[in-house]
Amino acid sequence: MSVGESVKRVDAYEKVTGRAKYTDDLCPRTALVAKVLHSTIASGYVKSIEIEEALKVKGVVKIVTCFDVPSHTFPTAGHPWSTDSSHQDVADRRLLNTHIRYYGDDIAAVVAEDEVAASRALRLIKVEYEAFTPLLTPNEAMHATSAPPIHENYPDNILCHSDFEIGHYEEAIKDPDLIWFEGEYDTQMVQHCHIEPAVSFAYEDNHRMIVVSSTQIPHIMRRVIAQALGVPFGQVRVIKPYIGGGFGNKQDVLYEPLNAFLSKQVGGKCVKLELSREEVFTCTRTRHSVQIKLKTGVRADGRIVTRKIEALANQGAYASHGHAIVSNAITGFRHIYQQEKAVKADAYTVFTNLPCGGAMRGYGIPQVTFACESHMQDIAEALHLDPIAFRMQNAMQLGYKDPFLGITCYSSGLKECVEKGMEYIHWHEKYPAYQDQTGPIRKGVGMGIFSYKTGVYPISLETASARLVLNQDGSAQLQMGATEIGQGADTVFSQMAAETIGFTLDQIHIVSTQDTDISPFDTGAYASRQTYVSGMAVKKTAALFKERLLSYAAYLLKVPESTLDIQNNEIINSVTKDCLITLPALALEAFYNLDYASHITAESSVQCKNNTISFGVCFAEIEVDLALGRIKILDIINVHDSGVLINPQLAKAQVHGSMSMGLGYALSEQLLFDAKGKPLNPNLLDYKLPTSMDTPDLAVDFVETVDPSGPYGNKSLGEPPAIPVAPAIRNALLQATGIAFNSLPITPHKIIEKFKENGLI
């Protein structure tokens, strides 16, 4: 057995010894260096750029401005493409921009022999702007009258609007027995803060553009670069080495098209483009800030009759993943709780003159879950209901089927997750004990539940491939188009292959690098899809590979194939379990038999047309110092239903990392801007990312269900653990103080201000 075991990561040794090669490690020392000139206004136009003095800097090879690049636009979002134009992303990016849409927009680039020369040249470029008053909030942008639109083809600055209604809302609200609750909730803009910055190098080889990049989506990137350069897809090759984290930021095509263009401008020479940490904060992608209004009609017994959500997402300057984020949020809203009569949703995504919002771990669900779980807690408190019983009374049940998308709840361990979390945190003792406290130091317990889809079907195409090749020693080479970005994908794919074939894990050699010339096609690492969708491709390919091994063994042994099986790297009699021939011996015959040599390989692809739902809960116990406005996490646990765990230890590590992100989201992280749209804290000193000193012990547990739609009974895990942490902490603070905090992050200055307003200090 391999699936279900906590085996060591297959890439552990290379990474801990420093042997793993990342993009910068592979870049030739002779590569030219590119630096980008960013705008110093948030809204307006570039009227002129003077580069004469910059060109005189020793070592400068080329300077390209926004007036030198092609005029056509291209999309950057890491979504599966489609031949159906309605499923294609908004193409609103140029390589460099004359129309400035945020502070830090790309207006010119320098290519030089080294970083010093490139930086000196940047400082000598003179830019003349026509500046406008920036629009920094969705409300400002939607109702602007004097400022020109951020994108000419969106005159009201609304990228997209969507709504849905299940049941008859206007009829449902006439119910005289309803008790109404309303709430407004705000979530902030944050950054991914992966260790490795955005980096790539590009060069031409045999009239083809080669781009080596730290990316989650090599096959998608190939297509986008080709679209940006205006060349056929086959003229672009993308190579993804080891990657130092992404969390969704590298699920966008960032500076790779510009890097490829710059290489072409210098005759195909190798050009490296690496962003500084400040550039990563401002010029890549962020998690959307979302304003959410909820209205709920409830009976006195706690049954939800009708619900309404209004959501307003701050997209920033360019479309990127765009409306998909808030659309996913309102879909998640209709999933986790079920109402008796009607639910209605209304969502807008609005362009503003701020950095671009894109994909980030959870994809809109952390935002809506904070709002939803805060709201549910407020209702329970007001009606004097048990907050957990109230949730479970209304939560999604096994067998639920989404009326629009058809996504079905095939398995649910939510009830068991909640029970485990309650037992761990001692809810029955602490929740009543912490009611109605007084004094300067108070404690509280809180919780929040969530649901999360697995992959992007049916909203987008879901497809994946895998390849297995027999080696001469009886081991097998596994190639995936799916990307390892630190989450442990290569390890679980290896376990899946070993399990299905009958090999021991050490006989599966996975190729961690993706290369679009060589690797089978896969759309990449996002949507917690890889063990589910790419896992289907592994299982299908491994079964085909096993079938071909057994077919060749039957030829050698002159026995029916039906009497054979593979176990522990041996061909065995399926009844007696006796070893008939070892895999190394079989492989030698397959490669070198004079009578019948056969190079045994298998490759297959799947188009996944299914989806399923994961569940989980976070329980938190906190202590709050009223005078200091400081929250201390005393204890915290996430309990997850992610189906069958392929590797329990890796699953636990995933939850630890994601919970840490949730802590920062709840308590400290926020990108700040001045009135002109200039970022105030785009660095790891001023941006308050939690350190090891701020992180408590993180407890993790699981409830394993067997999901019939998953290739091994598994479903999503990578993103979900970040979702429920913030509302659990918020609700613990509510219990401790009686004060509801409806905006994130819950920082000391916010706490002090609200405590003063409510007379606590």
pLDDT of residue 564: 98
Q: Do residues 92 and 215 both lie within one domain?
A: yes
Q: How confident is the model at residue 68 (pLDDT cuts 50, 70, 90)?
A: very high
3-state SS class at 197: coil
Over range 347-360, report the average pLDDT: 98
Q: How does the average pLDDT of the chain come out, rounded?
A: 97
Predicted confidence (pLDDT) per residue in 150-167, tens digit: 999 999 999 999 999 999
Give the Cα separation of 563 and 552 in Å (integer).
13
Examine the fold and report which residue of 239, 274, 309 is the final residue of a domain before the chain moves on.
274
Query: How many CA atoms, within 13 angstroms, populate the side-chain half-sphere of residue 612?
Result: 27
3-state SS class at 457: coil
pLDDT of residue 214: 98
Q: Do residues 320 and 437 both lie within one domain?
A: yes
160 located within any domain: no
Q: Do residues 557 and 542 both lie within one domain?
A: yes
Judge whether residue 342 has pLDDT over 90.
yes
635 located within any domain: yes
Written in H, E and C, the secondary structure of 388-427 is: HHHHHHHECCCCCECCCCCCECCCCCHHHHHHHHHHHHCH
Query: How many CA atoms, within 13 angstroms, populate the side-chain half-sphere of residue 81?
Result: 16
Judge whether residue 201 has pLDDT over 90.
yes
Predicted confidence (pLDDT) per residue in 318-341, tens digit: 999 999 999 999 999 999 999 999
Domain CATH number, residue 114: 3.90.1170.50
pTM score: 0.97
Strand order in the sheet with 99-100: 99-100, 44-50, 126-131
Cβ-based neighbour number of residue 238 at 10 Å: 30
473-491 residues labelled b (16+ CB within 10 A) or e (exposed): ebbbebbbbbbbbbbbbbb
Nearest to 261 by CA among 217, 223, 231: 231
Nearest to 120 by CA among 193, 56, 197, 25: 56
Q: Do residues 223 and 94 both lie within one domain?
A: yes
Give the Cα separation of 553 and 551 in Å (integer).
5
pLDDT of residue 84: 87
Over range 348-371, report the average pLDDT: 98
Q: Which domain holds residue 103?
A: 13-132+198-274
pLDDT of residue 87: 85
Confirm if 211 and 26 have CB atoms less than 8 A apart. Answer: no
151 located within any domain: no
Q: Do residues 99 and 237 both lie within one domain?
A: yes
Q: How confident is the model at residue 86 (pLDDT cuts 50, 70, 90)?
A: confident
Q: Do residues 453 and 467 both lie within one domain?
A: no
Examine the fold and report which residue of 607, 625, 643 is the final residue of a domain before the chain moves on.
607
246 located within any domain: yes
Examine the fold and report which residue of 607, 633, 648 is the final residue of a domain before the chain moves on.
607
pLDDT of residue 722: 97
Domain CATH number, residue 468: 3.30.365.10
The structure tokens listed for 333 are: 């809203």
pLDDT of residue 215: 98
Q: How confident is the model at residue 82 (pLDDT cuts 50, 70, 90)?
A: confident
Over range 458-466, report the average pLDDT: 96
pLDDT of residue 1: 78
Q: Do residues 440 and 507 both lie within one domain?
A: no
On the 0-12 / 13-18 / 19+ scale of CB atoms within 10 A, 80 is buried
pLDDT of residue 359: 98
Confirm if 498 and 14 have CB atoms less than 8 A apart. Answer: no
Q: Do residues 34 and 69 both lie within one domain?
A: yes
Instruction: Enumerate the H helices of 29-127 as residue ranges.
Output: 52-55, 115-124
The structure tokens listed for 149 are: 């639109």
Judge whether residue 55 has pLDDT over 90.
yes
Q: Do residues 313 and 431 both lie within one domain?
A: yes
Q: Do residues 265 and 313 both lie within one domain?
A: no
Confirm if 682 and 189 have CB atoms less than 8 A apart. Answer: no
Instruction: Enumerate the H helices of 126-265 as residue ranges.
Output: 138-142, 169-172, 218-229, 256-265
171 located within any domain: no
Over range 600-610, report the average pLDDT: 98
pLDDT of residue 492: 98
pLDDT of residue 535: 98
Q: CB under 8 Å to 702, separation ≥6 — which residues?
A: 639, 640, 641, 642, 645, 648, 651
Q: How confident is the model at residue 588 (pLDDT cuts 50, 70, 90)?
A: very high
**Location of structure tokens 């020793």:** 58
144 located within any domain: no
Stretch (H or E) spanning 583: helix 583-592
627 located within any domain: yes
Give the Cα separation of 318 and 285 in Å (integer).
10
Q: Do residues 114 and 261 both lie within one domain?
A: yes
Q: Do residues 602 and 508 both lie within one domain?
A: yes
> How many domains, in total, are found in the chain?
3
Predicted confidence (pLDDT) per residue in 243-254, tens digit: 999 999 999 999
491 located within any domain: yes
Give the Cα separation of 537 and 509 in Å (integer).
17
